Copies of this chain bind each other. A is one copy, B any other.
Amino acid sequence: MKKEYTSIKFDYNNMMSTYVGAEQGITDKELAGTKNLAVQAHTYFKLNRGTGMMGWSELPYNQAEVVKDIMNTAKIVRRNCDAFVVLGIGGSALGPMAVFQALCHLRHNELKRNQRKAPKFYVEDNVDPERMASLLDILDLDKTVFNVITKSGSTSETMSQYLIIMNILKEKYGDKANEHIIATTDAKNGNLIKIAKKENLKTFIIPDGVGGRFSEICPVGLFPAAVLGIDIKEMLKGCAHMDKLCRKSDIKSNPALAAAALQYLAIQKGKNISVMMPYADSLKLMADWYCQLWGESLGKAVNNKGEKVYVGQTPVKALGVTDQHSQVQLYTEGPFDKVVTIIGVENYRKEVVIAGGCEDFPSVSFLSGHTLNELITSEMYATEYALTKNNRLNNMITLPEVNAHTIGQLMFFFMLETAYIGAMFDINTFNQPGVEEGKNATYALLGRAGYEEKAAELKARPQKSENYII
């Protein structure tokens, strides 16, 4: 019998003027007015999916072979090692971390080996020397496998980590160092594929048309997830499920297209901030993953016509209920410059009852007998209410429960929403030209050959004034 899947739900009532007030809210007429734009965006996606930098859109369907390879390798790694370390940054780190947090025990690394049934998991996505030294302090290298991930094979941060780790492994294990490193990179381009061949590393390939921030559902994310015992086939089925829900070009039925159209309108109304606020610790890092997807895809100086547009909406990660005690004051009383997206969970995987014991104190004891589940859910609806009452645009995505299938749905929802809204803005959603300037300046500052001109440019900057340094 075929398993019945429940879909995640997108509720945008509180984006609309009926609920959030006429001054801030979106009217039915305005929403209807995006019809042509929405149809165009949907058509563009439909016609181009699977091609160019939209290769990622076919990943739910074309990975049967590589999933087999991933599962076989993961099985061996799970059996042989006690720590699995991703060396990667950006998209090579954010997806693996988000899925780990969503689908493993929240204190996974601190469980005993027989409780966790998978290696400890680390993602090193920075080059802070204190951080690298700290990691080396706690690893038992004999039982550690590293997964170095970079599509270009030339990411300075990741390749620096590779050099450091490979050197340690070679000193310790000589010819057998390669048993401790697995590479994930492009099939042809860049250095890492060549190095992997030379060093005889087990290698997974990042398919064409899959940029970093769209790579969680290719081997970049699937292999770490499989090592952790996550059902990656279910994740991919969840993606396909969402893809199917978004097949139509009608914003009334396509949730990702509706979400894109609403954000498009909100941006026109001056909402330059998008807050992503899950009410679940398991989804905290999903907000981080979203922040890269949204920020890097939409933050563009020029559109496809070459006109200067300087578009983008700044993503902000928040966590319910925690940030009610940090950010919600600003969200309800500050400038009208945000859209808040709440992510709710219908069924948490645990239930915790709030005990009695303070019967003399009614303002505490009213909590007794309720569950934390009720408390966090009530607070979520209370925040939704407070935002709405204060005329703040908000919407809610609800997961029936956090599992591999709904996580697949959620990630694909955001990827589709991003692709659609990028098309609405007529920008290149899939490049990141603004990162080049910093990269080249770094090369120049480190004295890399070929960057003498950039070094001269840096040297020619107006000198800083001591008056402006206190």
Contact = CB atoms under 8 A, between A and B. Distances in A.
B378 A445 contact: yes
A357 to B, nearest CB: 6
A373 B129 contact: yes
Contact of A164 (B194, B324, B354): B354
Contacts of A64: none
A291 B357 CA distance: 35
A138 interface: yes
Given A163-B367, A357-B163, A446-B366, A333 B376 contact: no
A119 interface: no
Interface in A420-470: 432-435, 437-449, 458, 461-462, 464-465, 467-470
**Most chain B beta-carbon contacts within 10 A, residue among A91, A127, A134:** A127
Interface string A321-352: 11011111111111111100000000011111
A446 B335 contact: no
Interface string A25-48: 000000000000000000000000
Contacts of A15: 468
A137 B79 CA distance: 23
A326 B295 contact: yes
A191 B435 contact: no
Given A354-B160, A446-B367, A468 B11 contact: yes
A172 to B, nearest CB: 13
B358 A163 contact: yes
**Most chain B beta-carbon contacts within 10 A, residue among A322, A334, A350, A462:** A334
B13 A469 contact: yes
A465 to B, nearest CB: 6
Interface stretch (A105-113, A215-223, A232-240): A105-113
A130 interface: yes
A130 B349 contact: yes
Contacts of A322: 89-90, 93, 125-126
Nearest to A136: B352
B295 A330 contact: yes
Interface in A305-329: 310-312, 314, 316-317, 319, 321-322, 324-329
Contacts of A200: none
Given A325-B91, A372-B160, A106 B129 contact: no
A142 interface: no
A382 interface: yes
Contact of A314 (B129, B273, B321): B273
Interface string A191-226: 100110010000000000000100000000000000
Interface stretch (A53-61, A68-76, A248-256, A404-412): A248-256
9 contacts: A89-B322, A105-B134, A126-B319, A126-B376, A133-B352, A194-B361, A298-B334, A316-B316, A382-B445
Given A105-B137, A382-B438, A382-B444, 11 more contacts: A11-B464, A13-B468, A105-B134, A129-B373, A159-B364, A191-B364, A252-B470, A254-B470, A311-B335, A375-B442, A378-B442
